[in-house]
Structure 1
Amino acid sequence: MPVFTSLSGEKTMQSKLLIVEGNIGAGKSTVCASLSNTLGFRIFEEPVKSNPYLEDFYKDPHRIAPIMQRWLFEQRLATYKEAVQHIEETGQGVILDRSVFSDWAFAYQSLVDGFFTEQQYEEYQTMREVALRGLPLPTMCIYLDVSPEQCLYRITQLRKRECEAGMPIEYLRGLDASHAMLLDDLEKVGIEVLRVDWESFGDIEPIEKSVQRTPLNTRLWGVDRGRVPRTTLFV
């Protein structure tokens, strides 16, 4: 897959691919909107609103988790490829509200919680390795660091989605831990990770400046930096 270029075939510093990651309720959508407004980048949203399994997952996670996680992975992979294609065709930078790379954090947590069998998790890992190999790496991963307790407050008191009303704090704590492991892996394969304290929200300007200073990333997943860490090491 070619590196990011403008229509003229010339690289541009605006042709950046940003992924905004964080726990459920961290505030990713708000940050994406602010960055899009100031940087002029296009947003590619997470496929949450169209997720046909989400409500059933919270009711019966043991049955729904494997089905939903595969669907989410496929949706996030397609969105990522669409974002890459957009950069190649227009030269415009893009921002992804969660990405295919962080999908692993949820799959791993499903294993920890017993929603995945070891075989189902291994099948997910194999699917992930095959699908991601050769994908262009993002320019930067912006991680919004918010405590599980604050995330739960925002979920229950601010956005108030009915299907999330009974979300246990233990689930958010598990996702917080799995995201920490994920970020280490992303750095190992050559992705710039910006950890941002977003406990009380914050100023978007320092994030913008970090994005502007960061050069384009022309590496490919699993190709340019040797073997990709296999997350079964965390089991």
Structure 2
Amino acid sequence: MKYHFITIEGNIGAGKTTLAHLLAKHFNARLILEEFADNPFLPKFYENPQQYAFPLELFFMAERYKQLKELIHTNDLFQRITITDYLFTKCLLFAKINLPEEEYRLYQKLFEIIHQQLVQPDLLIYLHAPVNKLQQNIKKRNRSYEQSIPDDYLMNIQQTYTHYIKQHNVKTLFIDASNADFLSNPKHLQVVIDALDQDYDQGQHYFTLP
């Protein structure tokens, strides 16, 4: 394995956590998963976005930082690979979508102070799925507070991610997850495992699943 720190990203319902679990098992990697369920503002945000967006995003940033800062201080001899199901920059991307301009500028200042203290991933895996596929997955996993997420919100997230990846020339495996079923179709998982055995230049490298 050429990569020691791999991050999986994608829209809500793209399959990030499922793929992270499977890759961590395959590579005997340390797995760091976003603890979104612990955020007390999440259900409130979906009911009243304007009132709860700022505390929601602050809580997420604090929790993500708390998880990822441990990478700076730990060196597990038996698990040399770390896989996460979120990119810390996700904080800023969602804040840009959810916050009004003045709150976003304040949030951005805090983010920049914290971000420079963290280890950055060697490689990003981005799962790109159309909104109708995302909505199917959201309904299937049946979290009550997610069931009324509008298509426009998902589309906005999608565009924000892809713009960031292209603008910053992030080293990314950009996977078309339109028909992805990593749990039930071993060939889909194998595409990703094989892709991780190669060296890549900066920028996006596109993969489709059989």
In the superposition, the TM-score normalised over structure 1's length comes to: 0.76
Q: Give the residue type in structure 2 aligned to 1:142.
A: I
CA distance in 1, matches of 2:19, 2:163: 23
The reply on whether 1:61 has 2:43 as its aligned counterpart is: no
Please name the residue that 2:127 is paired with. Answer: 144
Select which of 33, 49, 68 maps to 2:37: 49
- Residues 35-74 of structure 1 show CA distances to partners (whole Å, capped at 9, x for unaligned) of 0111111110111121111110111110100011011011
In the other structure, the counterpart of 1:162 is 144
* CA–CA distance in structure 2, aligned partners of residues 200 and 77 of structure 1: 33
Counting only pairs closer than 5 Å after superposition, residues 18-37 of structure 1 correspond to structure 2 as: 18-37=6-25
Any residues of structure 2 matched to 1:1-235 within 5 Å, and which? 16-86=4-74, 88-90=75-77, 92-110=80-98, 116-156=99-139, 158-187=140-169, 191-201=170-180, 203-214=188-199
CA RMSD of aligned residues (A): 2.0
How many angstroms does 1:130 deviate by? 1.4
Q: Calculate percent identity across the aligned residue pairs.
A: 24
Where structure 1 has 5 or more consecutive residues not aligned to the other structure, the ranges are: 1-12, 111-115, 218-235
Unaligned residue ranges in structure 2 (runs of 5+)? 182-187, 203-210
3-state SS of paired residue (1:195): strand
Secondary structure in structure 2 of the residue aligned to 1:20: strand
Letter in 1 for 2:68: Y
Query: Deviations for 1:3-62, whole angstroms, at most 9, x for unmatched residues?
Result: xxxxxxxxxx57611110000000011101110111111110111121111110111110
Contact 2:3 2:122 in 1 (8 A): no
Q: Which moved more, 1:205-214 or 1:137-146?
A: 205-214
- Name the CA distance, whole Å, in 2 between partners of 1:97 and 1:85: 20
Partner letter of residue 207 of structure 1? V
